[in-house]
Amino acid sequence: MRVVLSGGGTGGHIYPAVAVARQIEKEEPGSEFLYIGGKRGLESKLIPQEELPFESIDITGFRRSLSAENVKTILRFLQGVKTSKRLLKEFKPDVVVGTGGYVCGPVVYAASKLGIPSLIHEQNAIPGLTNTFLSRYVETVAVSFEGSESAFPKARKVLYTGNPRATTVHHASKERGFATLGVPMGSKVVLVVGGSRGAKAINDAMIDMAGHLSRLKDVHFVYVTGDTYFEQTRSAVLEQLGTMPNYLHILPYVHNMPEVLASTSLIVNRAGASFLAETTSLGIPSILIPSPNVTNNHQEANARTLEKAGASRMILEPQLNGEKLFGAIEQIMTDPGVRRDMAEASRTLGKPDSAELIVEELRRLSALRRK
């Protein structure tokens, strides 16, 4: 199978595309790939590290207010379509996959104009602008959240697949997770993380509740601060406690997050779609603090989906402080029944076969191309 992948801007768009590529490699050995991303996007750094062939186009997103910059964006889009058509004609893919972010707009649109079957994947409960636009041009829209199919009324086919990142983490090693953290196998672990770059509001809450952590016996707390907030958080905690206790681990970043997640009893984090796919795939209870600084407030919609199912508790950022966060953690970690019910609810939302479902659909679309 010859596959073009496109998506970028954030890891939430990039990693699902990588997960699809890895599943295709597993099921269709000998498949060939081309990833088309933005010149300035995170994908320009991450995709070469994944050893996937990479080409770039110059594209920016629309501003939601009237702006002269939008005129330049339209011109970049048209040039991006032209460049994408050239790349697609040279590579001759069987199918094109878009996973969101404005960069996949011209790529998937170009594929539709060339008659190449295409699929887009929407990670969030509320679709992004690019995927909403592309939904009328593609053969299939794959969605992460059951019930969000109705967000694409003009699509030819909408398929509930879940997020392919779930497949990536489902078989992660719990043993390696405990070893990474340096805690005994089988320990209770509460992981507090504000995303790959960290989040000031969550880091402030980490500091505020540090003095309360000793109240929870036999629980290890892992603070993942992001590089920006690491020294500040560590210094503030040390100033408050005097010394770093053995039940508290402060890290700037976790490189093998799937394995650390596999060893986690409860996670506190933002409500990005890919991260939620990973946690539900493993059946991890969560306390979600959605970022208020995202398009259409989609993280709150993501979080409410888990909260409604009983898999999570949500704290909105304006109400977040150390006392409230620790209170929610304490309530869950001191009641095995609550934790068990939340884990089961989380697990029922997980789709560990997500990447397999997407590859099955791509195989169908690829067959259409060859007819």
14 and 96 fall within a common domain: yes
Are 255 and 361 members of one domain?
Answer: no
So what's the pLDDT on residue 168? 85
User: Do residue 47 and residue 104 come from a single domain?
Assistant: yes
Q: Is 70 annotated as a binding residue?
A: no
Instruction: Assess whether 291 and 359 both reside in one domain.
Output: no
Name the packing angle between helices 104-113 and 69-91 (round to 10°): 50
Shared domain for 107 and 239, answered yes or no, is no
Q: In this structure, are 149 and 176 located in the same domain?
A: no
Position 67 scores a pLDDT of 61
Average pLDDT of the chain is: 93
> Which of 49-63, 116-130, 138-152, 160-174 is the least confident region?
49-63
Q: What is the Cα–Cα distance from 369 to 94, expressed in whole angstroms?
A: 6
Write the CATH number for 58.
3.40.50.2000
Extract the runs of DSSP E, i.e. beta strands, from 200-264: 219-224, 248-251
**pLDDT tens digits, residue range 190-230?**
999 987 678 899 999 999 999 999 999 899 999 999 988 99
Beta-bridge mates of residue 220: 189
List the domain range (segments joined by +) for residue 89. Answer: 2-163+352-370
Residue 334 marked ligand-binding: no
**Per the annotation, does 80 bind a ligand?**
no
Mean pLDDT value across residues 148-154? 93
Degrees to nearest 5, angle at CA 73 with 68 and 74: 100
Check: CB of residue 118 under 8 Å from CB of residue 112: yes
- 196: annotated binding-site residue? yes
275-301 pLDDT, tens digit per residue, is 999 999 999 999 999 999 888 899 999
Q: What is the pLDDT of residue 76?
A: 85
How much of the chain, in percent, has pLDDT values that exceed 90?
Answer: 81
Predicted confidence at residue 62, as pLDDT, reads 60
Judge if 12 and 119 occupy the same domain.
Answer: yes
Residue 194 annotated as lining a ligand binding site: no
371 within 8 A of 364, measured Cβ to Cβ:
no
Out of 84-93, 168-177, 360-369, the most confident range is 84-93
* Mean per-residue pLDDT, 262-279: 94
Q: How many CB atoms lie within 10 A of CB 321?
A: 14
Per-residue pLDDT tens over the stretch 238-249: 999 999 999 999
Among left, alpha and beta (phi > 0; psi -120 to 50; other), residue 162 is: left
**Counted domains in the chain:** 2
What pLDDT is recorded for position 72?
Answer: 75
- Express as a percent the part of the chain with pLDDT over 70: 96
My answer on whether 153 and 179 are in the same domain is no
Q: Are residues 145 and 262 in the same domain?
A: no
Q: Is 10 part of any known ligand binding site?
A: yes
Question: Distance between CA 107 and CA 82 in Å, rounded?
Answer: 9
In a shared domain, residues 139 and 189: no
> Is 151 in the same domain as 176?
no
Is 360:140 a contact under the CB 8 Å cutoff? no
- At 330, list the tokens: 């304490």
Do 265 and 366 have their domain in common? Answer: no
